[in-house]
Amino acid sequence: MTHVAVQRKAATILGKLAAAINVRAGDARQLVKMYERFEEFEMRAELESLFGIADLQLLATETDEAVKAAIQMKRADMNLTGAAITTRLGNQPPRSRAIRKNK
């Protein structure tokens, strides 16, 4: 099977699964993207318990360090939204290269 054929088959299966569990196909695609982004993330279970899919979409573009910081922020204030957390992450001063090398 070619790469394109595999992608089409996967899309068909995903569409059938989404219909079977009453989820829109677009939402199902987003869930797959979130799984791909965070599948190897060490704090994935906690991340999934603290954040909904919309918040995970916002965090998907962040670095692992930023996601860890977001988890700490959410632990401290469970009422924080994903948008508020990304705003706070954007307002944090960038870490210096010296600190990154020591980690």
Q: How far apart are the C-alpha atoms of 9 and 92, rounded to whole Å?
A: 43
pLDDT digits (tens, 9 = 90+) for 5-31: 888 888 888 888 888 888 888 888 888
Quote the pLDDT of residue 19: 86
pLDDT band at 93 (very low <50, low <70, confident <90, very high): low
Q: How far apart are the C-alpha atoms of 13 and 4, rounded to whole Å?
A: 14
φ/ψ of residue 78, rounded to 5: -65, -15
Distance between alpha carbon 58 and the CA centroid of its chain, in Å? 7
Would you kindly state where each structural domain of the chain is located, as residue ranges? 1-39, 42-103
pLDDT digits (tens, 9 = 90+) for 41-92: 999 889 989 998 888 888 888 899 999 999 999 999 999 988 899 899 888 7
Contact 72, 95 (CB under 8 A): no
Quote the pLDDT of residue 72: 94
